[in-house]
Amino acid sequence: MEHREMTTSGLADALGVQRSSVSHILNGRNKPSLDFVMKVVNTFSEVSLDWFLKGQSDFPTSSTPSFQNPKVQTKAVPNLSLKKASTLNESRQLVKTILFYNDGSMEVFEPKK
């Protein structure tokens, strides 16, 4: 988490698990399951199974480049008006749309002001 500058919530989202699961593991309440360990190893290429389980080998793995925290790209888009067929709440306005990609990057789209 430190290496990727991630929060508990960010890690949970990246792994597709509940935030409470990550919190319980980090606080020592629960031990990680094999499924959780495999999600970490499969999601983050710089984490080797030997390093994660036994503290052996290098971190990040020497075969992968060091992670560069992706820059969040914010793009201005024209104001969009999305209407439901039967209801329209005039007081609601689109504030932000965030797209998360499987490589750990994301893009933020905000309406032009």
Q: What does the pLDDT read at residue 83?
A: 55
Residues in CB range of 68: below 8 A, 6 or more apart: none
Please tell me the distance from the alpha carbon of residue 14 to that of residue 95, in angstroms, as a whole number: 23
Domain 1-69 is in which class? mainly alpha
What average pLDDT does range 3-31 have in this prediction? 90
Ordered by start, the domain boundaries in the chain are 1-69, 73-111
What average pLDDT does range 79-97 have in this prediction? 64
3-state secondary structure 39-62: HHHHHCCCCCHHHHHHCCCCCCCC
| Whole-number average pLDDT of the chain | 75
Q: What does the pLDDT read at residue 24?
A: 92
The yes-or-no verdict on residue 3 having pLDDT over 60 is yes
